[in-house]
Structure 1
Amino acid sequence: MQKKSTNELNDLLENMKPDQLDSYLKDNSKYMADEKKAFYYYMKDVLDEKNIKLKDVYSFAGVTESYGSKIITMEKHTKDRDLIIRLCLAGHFNWDETNRALKLYGFSELYAKDPRDACIIVAVNNRIFDMYEIDEMLIKQGLKKLTTEE
């Protein structure tokens, strides 16, 4: 079975009329991202583009491989927004990529009016992905660290 790329699907949608939508969805259902998998596929795509391995992301984010993979595949759902931010930092995600990942996971995007988020945005925009360096920036501003004490 030949996989259709997102670009191919985009091309199909470009000039599509509303009455053609039913058949498009039926014909291409196997290519559609289900909500649970959308986050996983997005993370994998961005990491593949950057040539970063998932196991390295887990390690840099400070989680075990088994826990990290359960979070990324959404087998387990975390309420810890910082964990998703740490995974993005470990994957060297830029600001847009981080916001997209947060949104796909169900969290709010990094918000410029939130002092802690602003600090993280500045780190990301300056390509500072080292957790301890970011923690230092946060502590210096009197804000809660990203890493957890184990």
Structure 2
Amino acid sequence: MNEKPTYELDKILSSVEPEHFNRYRNEEDTDSQMSVSEFFNRYIGSYGLQLSDVIRQSDIPANYAYGILNGNRTNPSRDRVIALCIACHMNLTDTNRALKTAGLSPLYSKVSRDAAIIIMINKCEYDIGIINEFLYGHNLNILSTSSNKEA
């Protein structure tokens, strides 16, 4: 099974009929074995996002972002995964799933910088520049993507 929080799995299970247990188990097992590139490609496809828009909005150099999305860059930094999540307009749950899929720690509300990012995601602020201004304004390291060297 993947690393979703128990409360999230309990919520999902509350709507699963006994005869659909195998489908649930297969989906959860597949989810836990997915690479970060598979995760993003599935998400981008599911929401009909334009890959070029996601890459541009992430503020990550195009060749690096394409490397993450095509599986050539298997260990992207936490900031770059967060930037891709923001560019995809992911909610907090999906952002943390992406981070875990990439083998990175999820956003944690007891860490000030993470809390600030969580606030912005929860307010549906998906502009990296605005998020970085918010972080900088609170003396926190900005998201390191391409044009900046912080974090």
Q: Normalising TM by the smaller chain, what interval? A: 0.7 to 0.9
Give me the whole-angstrom Cα distance separating, in 1, the residues matched to 2:74 and 2:45: 23
Closer/same/farther in 2, CA of residues 11 and 56 from structure 1, 3 Å limit: same
Deviations 1:45-78 (A, max 9, x none): 2222332112211111122333212112331233
Structure 1, unmatched stretches of 5+, are 1-9, 17-24, 26-31
Match of 2:58 in 1: 61
Shift of 1:33: 7.0
Equivalent residue pairs, number: 128
1:13 to 22, 26, 31: 22
Contiguous gaps of at least 5 residues in structure 2 = 1-18
Q: Would the aligned equivalents of 2:36 and 2:74 in 1 still touch at CA under 8 Å? A: no
Q: Report the TM-score when normalising by structure 1.
A: 0.72
- SS class of match (2:35): helix
Write the distance in 1 (CA, Å) between the matches of 2:104 and 2:123.
Answer: 23
Contact 2:54 2:87 in 1 (8 A): yes
Where 2:44 maps in the other structure, the secondary structure is helix
Percent identity between matched residues is: 29
CA contact (8 A) 1:39 1:73 kept: no
Q: CA RMSD for the aligned pairs?
A: 2.9
After the TM superposition, which of the residue ranges 99-108 and 43-52 deviates more from structure 2? 43-52
1:114 corresponds to: 111
